[in-house]
Structure 1
Amino acid sequence: MNTLAASYLATWNEKDADARAKLLADHWADNASYSDPMAQASGHDAIGATIGAVQEQFPDFVFTLVGEVDSHHQQARFQWGLGPEGAEPVVIGFDVVVTDDDGRIETVLGFLDKVPA
Structure 2
Amino acid sequence: MPHTDPGPTPEQVGALVADYLAAWNEPDAAVRSGLLARCWDPAGVYLDPTVRTQGPAALGEHIGRVQASRPGSYLELVGDVDQHHDVVHFRWRQLRPGRPPGPVSRDFGQVGPSGRLVSITGFFGSD
| Same fold, judged at TM 0.5 (above) | yes
Give secondary structure in 1 for the equivalent of 2:125: strand
Structure 2 contact 75–92 (Cα < 8 Å) conserved: yes
User: Root-mean-square deviation (CA), in Å?
Assistant: 1.8
Structure 1 contact 83–91 (Cα < 8 Å) conserved: no
Structure 2 contact 39–117 (Cα < 8 Å) conserved: yes
- What are the equivalent positions in structure 2 for 1:40-79 lying under 5 Å apart? 40-79=52-91
Question: What displacement does 1:88 show?
Answer: 4.6
Name which one, 1 or 2, has greater alpha-carbon Rg.
2
**Does residue 1:38 correspond to 2:38, yes or no?**
no
- What are the equivalent positions in structure 2 for 1:1-117 lying under 5 Å apart? 1-84=13-96, 88-113=100-125
* Per-residue CA distance 1:5-47 (angstroms, 9 max, x = gap): 2111011111100111111112111101100001110111211
**Which amino acid in 2 is paired with 1:23?**
L
Distance 1:21 1:4 in 2: 14
- 5+ residue gaps, structure 1, are none
Percent identity, please.
36
Instruction: Name whichever structure is richer in strand by fraction.
Output: 1
Count how many residue pairs are aligned between Structure 1 and Structure 2: 114
- 5+ residue gaps, structure 2, are 1-12
Distance 2:34 2:63 in 1: 14
Question: What displacement does 1:3 show?
Answer: 2.1
**Which amino acid in 2 is paired with 1:33?**
V
The two structures have a TM-score, normalised by structure 2, of: 0.82
**Which amino acid in 1 is paired with 2:17?**
A
The two structures have a TM-score, normalised by structure 1, of: 0.88
